[in-house]
Structure 1
């Protein structure tokens, strides 16, 4: 079924535009009351819900949000307003349960189009269109909202269309009253000053659910310096011009949102799901994305643009023997590696294929001579500017919702969910003196600092220099080189040694002081030889000892609080179904969006296995707190009773990791997760949860084990 706006001939003979729900093989000629414009081939031949397209028998393909035929600019603006309201309601339905108020901002180029002081109700064209479209969409959403979303239903039903939009424009600094360019002083009698105060000054009230204002029309949001973290949708009801950059406009919505308590929504597990800005661009913004990307790229002038041999040669990497420079031979190997694997193009630009492979963990292996330095080399490659690294601007109409299905209600899944659905806090109790002793021992045995050194090179200018030699920097020939290190090299920079290590390790200055005063004089003496390296290495060793002790003494305390079912539905709007699986049989959603080949193969195994009753890719809001950050497990699986030893299973799927630093953090989180599931398992007399890390469905079956015959 598709929603189309078509012209319809009424019984009175009047022709009006109406929204109709139409199905496969419906004929627009008949639906419109036999208007001639729909006579030739306007029978619906295909409705593609995944790509939001409708195809007609005459070959015309219409995409969501597009208009065809006799379309005026007024029609385009109405469509924009409708799409903005729709995007707002989608986002609001997603975030309401999390206590996040959604705001939408309209940029307009004429005050009169929103606030027409010549009209009795002072409503301009945009205000009238907004209220008409809002009432239609509000009724549609209220009719479709699921029963389990009753709180949002009541909230939406209780907001009046006339009170949910507001505007603010220019203020006369002398009178502190609004200025209407058409009637001047008459604007002093307007209520818009209250709107100005609400929108510009009283952000706390504006972000409260008790305040009905959710849609803001502005002619001067950029000039007035207005800023609000909860703008999730922006609509450009104006023509593009060169006075304001797209980055400035979009920047009004690129903020981390806050909830009703004023807390920033910046948890790494969900920050990119919640803080997504939707821009509804006008017809003159058809090149909006390309223009925005170009503006961003133009500001990155300091970034190197080409991955050449010359760029890599001379870069410094750290080895066991200390820092060394990448030689010309190594630089050539890196350059050839990129070319061979299509990670750079003919212009020596880093390609999107490189970034995709890196994200998926499928980068081709480096040459043997470079493998030991892989992490550092990939960091140097990443420092080269690439268009693929620009923020991804996606078509907001393509993502689909992915509602829960009947598998979620199965008793097997509800039993599994009941076992793991616990919020918890952790506590760590250890003796500071023991930590100091372990850190002193580790530093004495492991801390090795590379002394500072400098190289003095002497050269002579060649005779008969050419212009080409000067441009290439070949005018001088090297005649000699000496390197000084150790005692003859000293840093004159003053360092807050205790402060830096305390900051890096999240320990007190007192504890750090006890550790450093306990190490051998010869070990501490390395500080003056290379302060930066000493601080970095000492911080790393101390942090490792702390992490080991934290895991050993970590304990989870269960709370009475549990996760609401909302975490399964909170982030279901806006999913990119280009990465989705085929329709699934045993998953709690019809589809699953996977992040890697490993996950895709894992899903195939779960969905076709006769031993599996139901499973779920756990929502990103399901978090286990750990000392190194919140942890979100991947999968919850319920097996058929009697077929395996462990009926209820929580799995983490891992392939190869591209970053050593990330691997250590993940290892620590996984170790903490084991303790968490052990703790909640102790509270269940039978069918305890089994947690483990697996690389495939076959590995999973090895872990759960077949039940004895």
Structure 2
């Protein structure tokens, strides 16, 4: 038995129905069944997810009402008038309970976990109010200091230039240019306003394109953790592979593409150890020279009260800082520091000890402070990745290890009504299109234009946008997923393959080569070397528009 209905059976396995004296008090016989069910659930909390217990799930009409902490007990259906706003959210939260596997990990498969809410409200109002409340409580529109910091880091600004003063200046300019308000909340048109921003700060000016791109990227990622609320009154939007792919000619091309993409390869690089140690010492000395070590304690006063819904709100009204010029910290030995760095970077201990011994005395003392040690560890890792990226010279195919093509070409089934509101971010294939899938979510206007040009090019035999994380290339900066896979009609008389040629394309819409960050350039270099090792039939490059695609891949 894999599942059981709670409150559904009596001791003789006969179906029963819970009867109530009134709305809240069950009759005596029904109370016995309830007590039996409570004992079953509470005593089998651990057994329920073990292999020794054949029962895996319990489905109930009301067991979750009391908030019992058993992840594999589910409510089938609850019909009632919601009372307060908090109660409504609690009930939805219980309905969204996610099951756990035998290891105790939550199962986060969105294709399985689905909650149906029958609301005595219009779909538009219900979904809007729930999403707004979710965003407010989860700070989805908040521009945090961490987000500003990672934006500057990913924009390619050298670590030694990223100081608290630069972050404060970045924040100040975003407020002045109406991208965010003084409460750190993104304004309605903030993501559009930053695209037109002209920074005053020299460092921000120098990296303005990358800063803009990364700020929008991270705010979109922060805000896309949305509650996906589909209108149950409408037919679901089903995204699927198009039928032409089953035709023999296209099926062969598709399978050949999958074979090439499924191969795994690792990069090879040769690093000059002494050069790495020397440059690391210079970077750490420079980094620690750029700030004063001080301890600041911030004291904030606030008042709080409960509103009409029972929610507790706070309001800050006083704030001051107390600064201590001297920081008292425990001394860390060289071996303690080396062990910490080694654990987080996999660098050899001897190399780390050489770096520590090469630091100036006061710089070495700063490593006793944990925050400084963590930042220095990041500098060492960043320097290592930079040197690896510079010295990657080839890729080697791993025999016998392949990626499942179903994962590579996995269809994005989460297409909903909201995606159609921004037509520049959704591609819908026309009749006769050689697009692999019916729909694709896109990252920019430039990608939408690129997809439309592919669709209208009669020489394109097949194209698809590659899902992030499906097909990946191993690089010093982690896994890298290009944007497009394209099969183009081969017009070359000298080629052995007279059917189609395979292109893997990274789109950097409207960017010139000088605008690419060092990380982007490194990933593109790795992409080229990867496919040189994988197959002579596959060509890889980056493009900024469709004309650039035809030029770089020498398409006539």
TM class, shorter-chain normalised?
Answer: 0.5 to 0.7
Structure 2 CA distance for partners of 1:224 and 1:322, relative to 1, 3 Å:
closer
Residue 642 of structure 1 corresponds to 491
Work out which of the residue numbers 274, 287, 302 in structure 2 matches 1:437: 274
Two-structure CA RMSD over aligned residues (Å):
5.6
Q: Does 1:395 align with 2:229?
A: yes
Residue 540 of structure 2 corresponds to 691
Work out which of the residue numbers 448, 457, 463 in structure 2 matches 1:600: 448
Aligned partners of 1:375, 1:191: CA distance in 2, in Å?
Answer: 61
Q: Deviations over 1:517-575 (max 9, x none)?
A: 25663446523246544652453244432464374465331436562547646542545
Structure 2 CA distance for partners of 1:249 and 1:589, relative to 1, 3 Å:
same
Structure 2 CA distance for partners of 1:591 and 1:329, relative to 1, 3 Å:
closer
Aligned partners of 1:417, 1:337: CA distance in 2, in Å?
Answer: 51
Aligned partners of 2:403, 2:161: CA distance in 1, in Å?
Answer: 52
Q: Does 1:220 align with 2:64?
A: yes
Work out which of the residue numbers 350, 361, 366 in structure 1 matches 2:199: 366
Instruction: Using the TM superposition, give the Cα deviation of residue 490 of structure 1 relative to its aligned residue in structure 2, in angstroms.
Output: 5.8
Residue 555 of structure 2 corresponds to 706
Residue 497 of structure 1 corresponds to 337
Equivalent pair of 1:337/1:366 in contact (CA under 8 Å)? no
Structure 2 CA distance for partners of 1:253 and 1:223, relative to 1, 3 Å:
closer
Work out which of the residue numbers 365, 372, 378 in structure 2 matches 1:539: 378
Q: Does 1:654 align with 2:495?
A: no
Aligned partners of 1:380, 1:615: CA distance in 2, in Å?
Answer: 27
Equivalent pair of 1:625/1:631 in contact (CA under 8 Å)? yes
Structure 2 CA distance for partners of 1:639 and 1:257, relative to 1, 3 Å:
farther
Equivalent pair of 1:497/1:535 in contact (CA under 8 Å)? no
Instruction: Using the TM superposition, give the Cα deviation of residue 605 of structure 1 relative to its aligned residue in structure 2, in angstroms.
Output: 0.8
**3-state SS of 2:535 partner:** helix
Unaligned 5+ segments in structure 2 are 20-24, 145-156, 296-316
Instruction: Using the TM superposition, give the Cα deviation of residue 704 of structure 1 relative to its aligned residue in structure 2, in angstroms.
Output: 1.7
**3-state SS of 2:226 partner:** coil
Aligned partners of 1:120, 1:327: CA distance in 2, in Å?
Answer: 68
Instruction: Using the TM superposition, give the Cα deviation of residue 587 of structure 1 relative to its aligned residue in structure 2, in angstroms.
Output: 0.7
Work out which of the residue numbers 184, 187, 209 in structure 2 matches 1:351: 187
Q: Does 1:238 align with 2:80?
A: yes
Q: Does 1:337 align with 2:177?
A: yes
Residue 626 of structure 1 corresponds to 474
**3-state SS of 1:592 partner:** strand
Equivalent pair of 1:615/1:635 in contact (CA under 8 Å)? yes
Residue 151 of structure 2 corresponds to none
Q: Deviations over 1:6-27 (max 9, x none)?
A: xxxxxxxxxxxxxxxxxxxxxx
Structure 2 CA distance for partners of 1:681 and 1:329, relative to 1, 3 Å:
closer
Aligned partners of 1:353, 1:234: CA distance in 2, in Å?
Answer: 41
Instruction: Using the TM superposition, give the Cα deviation of residue 581 of structure 1 relative to its aligned residue in structure 2, in angstroms.
Output: 2.7
Work out which of the residue numbers 269, 277, 280 in structure 1 matches 2:116: 280
Aligned partners of 1:542, 1:409: CA distance in 2, in Å?
Answer: 47
Residue 535 of structure 2 corresponds to 681
Q: Where do 1:546-585 residues align within 5 Å?
A: 546=385, 548-549=387-388, 551-552=392-393, 554-559=395-400, 561=402, 563-565=404-406, 568=409, 571-575=412-416, 577-578=419-420, 579-584=425-430, 585=433
Aligned partners of 2:449, 2:39: CA distance in 1, in Å?
Answer: 59
Residue 616 of structure 1 corresponds to 464
Structure number with greater Rg is 1
Residue 48 of structure 2 corresponds to 202
Instruction: Using the TM superposition, give the Cα deviation of residue 597 of structure 1 relative to its aligned residue in structure 2, in angstroms.
Output: 0.7
Unaligned 5+ segments in structure 1 are 1-101, 126-178, 266-270, 306-316, 457-470, 475-481, 683-687
Residue 33 of structure 1 corresponds to none
Instruction: Using the TM superposition, give the Cα deviation of residue 441 of structure 1 relative to its aligned residue in structure 2, in angstroms.
Output: 2.5
Equivalent pair of 2:280/2:383 in contact (CA under 8 Å)? no
Instruction: Using the TM superposition, give the Cα deviation of residue 667 of structure 1 relative to its aligned residue in structure 2, in angstroms.
Output: 5.0
**3-state SS of 1:497 partner:** helix
Structure 2 CA distance for partners of 1:263 and 1:423, relative to 1, 3 Å:
farther
Instruction: Using the TM superposition, give the Cα deviation of residue 651 of structure 1 relative to its aligned residue in structure 2, in angstroms.
Output: 1.2
Aligned partners of 1:607, 1:374: CA distance in 2, in Å?
Answer: 33
Residue 415 of structure 1 corresponds to 253
Structure 2 CA distance for partners of 1:635 and 1:494, relative to 1, 3 Å:
same
Q: Does 1:450 align with 2:288?
A: yes
**3-state SS of 1:237 partner:** coil
Aligned partners of 2:34, 2:162: CA distance in 1, in Å?
Answer: 72
Aligned partners of 2:319, 2:100: CA distance in 1, in Å?
Answer: 54
Equivalent pair of 2:245/2:254 in contact (CA under 8 Å)? no
Q: Deviations over 1:631-668 (max 9, x none)?
A: 333211111121698821111222489xxxx9666555
